[in-house]
């Protein structure tokens, strides 16, 4: 078992790996359905060593559905807005965890609620002026954040072998994304697409999403999601290098507000 610090270090590594997801998706020329299906199906086979427990798959199907919906909406948002906007808006998930806390029986403080207000102010600043051409992609990214917040909050109540739970969730998620894959097809499967898919499986899936499942129940849901802010930070740096997507002054200032709000949540003293 990992100690408290070990779980946070694992989540930090996972958060960094999430930052590569939008880059791999942008490079790939595959369809959203094929990316979502293949990354989870292959990752599930790897973690289960090819021994799929159908009872576990059914048991964790609600989590598989939420993860599938989150992944599909995130991929669509990357395709329909900028990498910076998609990754930052998806990283508003900790604020949704806090807002849903009364329904999910999650303890939060006044400091958490202040962080929510600060974070959403940052999100607004990052997206001013609103552009009709990217507003749909931005909305889809926020929806993706809400879905992953529900997913993470629910995982905090799971008490099972982490490896079995992870592989079962991935297989279940692949089943839910299979219809979209069959409808859309695979897209253009080139060498670049194959390498991007391999990167998605190894980094944000096997390292990133697995770190969330392993840390669930050991770290507060809002803390797990707040560490995800590493995603837009890493993605923004990579987008500058690979796609020359330079952040605007508003995006920089808004990002600072978001970072400060995350700092407020993660440094809250135990009461």
Structure-block tokens of residue 92: 């508003």
- Residues near 4 by Cβ (< 8 Å), separated by ≥ 6? 218, 219
DSSP single-letter state for residue 187: B
* Domain residue spans of the chain: 4-266
Tokens 């880059």 locate to 23
Q: What is the pTM of this model?
A: 0.82
Model confidence band, residue 271 (pLDDT cutoffs 50, 70, 90)? very low
Give the separation between CA 262 and CA 227, rounded to whole angstroms: 8
Assign 248 to helix, strand or coil.
coil
Comparison of pLDDT for 1 and 140, the residue scoring more = 140
Task: Average the pLDDT over 108-122 and give the result.
Answer: 79
199-258 tens-digit pLDDT: 999 999 999 999 999 988 888 887 888 787 777 778 777 878 887 878 888 878 887 887
Mean of per-residue pLDDT scores for the chain: 85
What does the CA dihedral 62, 164, 20, 140 come to, rounded to 10 degrees?
0
pLDDT over 70 for what percent of the chain? 94
Model confidence band, residue 195 (pLDDT cutoffs 50, 70, 90)? very high
pLDDT of 119: 76
């Amino acid at each position: 078992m990992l100690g408290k610090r070990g779980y946070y270090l694992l989540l930090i590594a996972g958060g960094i790996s999430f930052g590569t997801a939008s880059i791999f998706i942008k490079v790939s020329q595959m369809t959203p359905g094929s990316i979502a299906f293949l990354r989870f199906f292959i990752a599930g086979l790897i973690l289960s060593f090819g021994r799929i427990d159908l009872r576990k798959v059914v048991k964790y199907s609600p989590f598989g559905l939420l993860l599938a919906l989150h992944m599909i909406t995130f991929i669509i948002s990357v395709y329909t807005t900028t990498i910076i906007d998609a990754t930052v808006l998806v990283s508003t998930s900790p604020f949704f965890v806090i807002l849903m806390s009364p329904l999910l029986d999650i303890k939060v403080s006044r400091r958490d609620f202040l962080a929510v207000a600060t974070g959403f102010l940052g999100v607004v600043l990052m997206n001013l002026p609103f552009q009709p051409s990217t507003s749909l992609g931005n909305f889809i990214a926020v929806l993706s954040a809400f879905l992953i917040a529900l997913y993470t909050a629910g995982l905090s109540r799971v008490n099972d072998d982490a490896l079995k739970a992870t592989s079962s969730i991935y297989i279940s998620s692949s089943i839910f994304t299979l219809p979209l894959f069959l409808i859309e097809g695979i897209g253009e499967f080139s060498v670049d697409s194959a390498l991007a898919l391999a990167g998605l499986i190894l980094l944000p899936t096997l390292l990133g999403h697995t770190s969330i499942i392993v840390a669930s129940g050991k770290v507060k849901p809002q803390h797990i999601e707040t560490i995800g802010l590493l995603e837009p930070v890493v993605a923004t740096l990579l987008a500058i290098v690979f796609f020359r997507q330079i952040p605007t002054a508003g995006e920089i200032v808004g990002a600072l507000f978001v970072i400060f709000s995350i700092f407020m949540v993660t440094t809250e003293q135990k009461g």
